[in-house]
Amino acid sequence: MKIGNSSFITSAVKYEQYPEIIPPEFAFVGRSNVGKSTLLNMLINRKSLAKTSSRPGKTQLINFFNIDDKITFVDLPGYGYAKVSKAQKATWGTIIETYLTKRENLLEVFQLVDLRHKPTKEDKEMYNWIKEYGFNGIIIGTKADKLSKGQLSKNVFMIKKELGMSKEDVLVPVSAMNRAGKYDVWEVINEILEV
């Protein structure tokens, strides 16, 4: 897909605030600071349409982006921020669950994990959740540039094992530093759209 023009649609917390359902939707979720905003900007060739978070964990908003009137990208609030209270965690859970269960045009949820680290308990819970709701469970591994080639393949293997992924399950390594993996992510999106 050639990206002509992307724009911010709206932020939402509650279901009633979601924008009208028109194009197919793809959501992105991950731990705060995993590189989600950076990835979204890379995918749509923009410097800062999706804001990189200066205060991770503080914003519990779902952000919707119109991608060339063809698809919608959805930036889901990040998780795993240490200083978040129990009440905030519960709110986050409700926001995500409502979105995953009620959004009819949602085709896939991409979960981001940092390629350098072992997935956390929350990463595993999120992954299981995504699968339980009937999505494929596609992982995007971020910050590939921080690893050597050898370490990268070792960590891809380790992350897949930790998340209980099968050989066929997809993990796409990306780097916003050198734009690696950008077209691989678009290929996955296009394949889903063609089905």
Binding site for ligand GDP (CB under 6 A): 30, 32-38, 52-53, 56, 78, 142-143, 145-146, 175-177
Question: Are the CB atoms for 141 and 113 separated by under 8 Å?
Answer: yes
Radius of gyration of the chain, Cα coordinates, nearest whole angstrom: 16
Query: Sign of dihedral through CA atoms 8, 9, 15, 17?
Result: positive
Q: Which is nearer to ligand GDP, 18 or 81 (CB)?
A: 81
Spatial distance between the Cα atoms of 157 and 191, rounded to a whole number of angstroms: 24
Q: Which is nearer to ligand GDP, 150 or 166 (CB)?
A: 150
Q: Which is nearer to ligand GDP, 30 or 137 (CB)?
A: 30
Shortest Cβ distance from residue 186 to ligand GDP (Å)? 16
- Residue 30 corresponds to which amino acid? G
Shortest Cβ distance from residue 37 to ligand GDP (Å)? 3
DSSP 146: G
Spatial distance between the Cα atoms of 183 and 189, rounded to a whole number of angstroms: 10
Shortest Cβ distance from residue 129 to ligand GDP (Å)? 18
Shortest Cβ distance from residue 100 to ligand GDP (Å)? 18
- Residue 150 corresponds to which amino acid? G
Q: Which is nearer to ligand GDP, 66 or 175 (CB)?
A: 175
Q: How far is CA 27 from CA 40, 82, 116, in A?
A: 10, 23, 23
Per residue, the 3-state secondary structure of 49-65, as one string, reads CCCCCCCCCCCCCEEEE
Shortest Cβ distance from residue 30 to ligand GDP (Å)? 6
Q: Which is nearer to ligand GDP, 107 or 140 (CB)?
A: 140
Shortest Cβ distance from residue 54 to ligand GDP (Å)? 8
Report which residue's Cβ sits closest to ligand GDP. 35
Question: Are the CB atoms for 11 and 63 separated by under 8 Å?
Answer: yes
Q: Which is nearer to ligand GDP, 53 or 98 (CB)?
A: 53
